[in-house]
Amino acid sequence: MTRRVLIGCERSRVFASAFEARGWEAWSCDLEPSEVPNIRHIVGDVRDHLDDGWDMLICHPPCTRLCNSGVRWLDSPTQRNPPDDATPAERAAWPTLDMPSRRAIMRRLLAEGAALFAACWNAPVPRVAVENPVMHRQGRALLPADLPAPQTVQPWWFGDAAKKATGWYLRGLPGLKATDKLALPVAGSPEAKRWESVHRASPGPDRARLRSRSFPGMAAAAADQWGWRREVADEHVQ
C-alpha cells in the first residue's frame, strides 16, 4: 500500500517533492496555490484535511507570532508597521489605533498562531513533525502541556549553505541526523552574510515567504530518515 504524507503550510513543494522521489503519495496544502504545478496540492486550511487518512504529517505553520525574535512586538507594536497577518480592516486602521488596541490585535494573532500549531500537533496521524524556530515563553504557554522539547537543527548540517535554527517537534519520529555538515564561513565575511540572508531579508511583501522557505538538503534527510518502509515505521512507534 502506498504511504501518504501531508505537508502542511507548504507551497514550494520542497518537502513534498523529496517524499515523492522516495515513492510516497505526497500532498502539500497551503492557503495559496503551489509554486510548482502539481495535482497533489490542496488550496485551503490544513486543519480541514488533518483526518484524511495520512501516514505522516509534516507541518510548517507560520511562526511569526510564536518565535522568540518577534516577542518584542507583542507589547510594543509600532504604529507605522501593521502586522501582515492582521485583517485588511485592521491594517487600514492601524495608524490611528491606540496602543491597547494594537496590543489586543497582537494578542489575538498570537492565540491564532498557537491554535494552528496545536491543531497540527494533535492531528489524528501516527507520525507528526511540526517545524518552528525558537519559541518565546508566552507562545509556549498557549501550547499543549505535553509538547516535547524540539530537536533544533541547522540547514548546514544537511549540505544547505545557510544558517537558520530550525526546531522540529516530533511525535512517532526520530530526530534528524546530520548528513553533510558544511564548514562554517568566517564570521563577518561576505559568504557568512549570504548564509544569514534569511535573517537579513529586507522588509517587504516577500519577506515572510523567503524566511519560511524550506531547504532541500534538510527535506531530503527527512524523507530518507522518516520515509522508511511501513513495517519498520510501525515497529518504531509501538
C-alpha cell at 171: 511525535
* Strands 56-59 and 128-132, sheet pairing: parallel
Q: What's the pLDDT score for residue 133?
A: 78
Three-class secondary structure of residue 138 per DSSP: helix
Q: Using an 8 Å Cβ cutoff, are 114 and 142 in contact? A: yes
Distance CA 38, CA 117 (A): 26
pLDDT tier, 68 (very low <50, low <70, confident <90, very high otherwise):
low
Mean pLDDT of 119-128: 97
Q: What are phi and psi of 16, to 5 degrees?
A: -60, -40
In a domain, 236, yes or no: no
In a domain, 57, yes or no: yes
Q: What's the pLDDT score for residue 64?
A: 78
Three-class secondary structure of residue 41 per DSSP: strand
**% pLDDT > 90, the chain:** 60
C-alpha cell at 49: 484535511
Mean pLDDT of 126-138: 88
- Domain CATH number, residue 28: 3.40.50
In a domain, 238, yes or no: no
Range among 16-20, 110-114, 159-163, 197-201 with highest mean pLDDT value: 16-20
Mean pLDDT of 108-121: 92
Mean pLDDT of 114-131: 96
Counting the structural domains of the chain, the total is: 1
In a domain, 56, yes or no: yes
pLDDT tier, 235 (very low <50, low <70, confident <90, very high otherwise):
very low
Domain carrying residue 215: 4-231
As beta bridge partners, residue 5 has: 26, 56
C-alpha cell at 114: 498557537
Q: What's the pLDDT score for residue 63?
A: 78
In a domain, 170, yes or no: yes
User: Could you tell me the pTM of the whole model?
Assistant: 0.85
In a domain, 220, yes or no: yes
Residue position matching grid coordinates 564561513: 185
Three-class secondary structure of residue 170 per DSSP: strand
